[in-house]
Amino acid sequence: MPVHRSGTARTRRLTAIGSLLAAFSLFLAAPAQSAPDDGIPPRGSAHMGMGVLAHDGQHGTPVPGDATQTEGVDVSSHQGNVAWSSLWSSGVKWAYVKATEGTYYTNPYFAQQYNGSYNVGMIRGAYHFATPDTASGAAQANYFVDHGGGWSRDGKTLPGALDIEWNPYGAACYGKTQSEMVSWIRDFLNTYKARTGRDAVIYTATSWWTQCTGNYGGFATANPLWIARYATTVGTLPAGWSYYTMWQYTSSGPIVGDHNKFNGALDRVVALANG
């Protein structure tokens, strides 16, 4: 004769309902989680020029074919393994590769990009994406030099570049006053020169530089300017610089998006590499 288990079944049902109610109450009490697409990119994903379109816009491109300028590119982990031979064949003769960000990130594609550009004949250098809110200028300069940002007088290595632009992770000026930002940049530049013997290139946009440094002009005598402006001309330069050395003019160029012009023929690129 089968045993009657209705009481046991009822108990199991009540237990299950109680568990569901408890889980639901925990769900209601839990703090709201940030949406995965909250508009803030993950740390380490910043790259040269990522704020230009949003802040300065696109206003055409320069007329091609100027023999007094030399085409270049800049790359980061976003490009992955780069087709350097194709870029070389298209006329690109120099490149900058993201090496580091803050004191917490190194580009996993750095070796392929840095060595690959060199191996096809390009003159190349490394750049550091600055995050002045996470560590001092000196700490970030040392991290950069220790992770690919060094320099040697081999005629193929450009001095390191400091990418200082809009903060993709928060407030545009990284929470610093204009004088604090100038001090941070000076700290980075002085440390980089002490470590390598070279003055670093400064990559920036005039509008950011004006907003976040008060248009400080004190670095122009020593540090080459790499200006970011997506337009037919470079426009107004930051204070102190009467000319630019490099110009990032688009983020939608062929093969690799970020294309640049060196303000001089190839022999001038070699001269900058040699110091």
As annotated, the active-site residues are: 74, 163, 165
Cα distance between residue 21 and residue 92, in whole Å: 64
Closest CA to 248 of 56, 46, 72: 72
Residues with Cβ within 8 Å of residue 224, at least 6 apart in sequence = 159, 199, 201, 202, 245, 246, 272
- Measured from the Cβ of residue 213, the count of other Cβ atoms closer than 10 Å reads 25
| Cα torsion through 220, 154, 101, 92, rounded to 10 | 80
Pairing of strands 94-101, 70-75: parallel
259 touches 52 (CB < 8 A)? no
Cα distance between residue 90 and residue 88, in whole Å: 5
Helices vs. strands in the chain: H and E counts, helices first: 8, 11
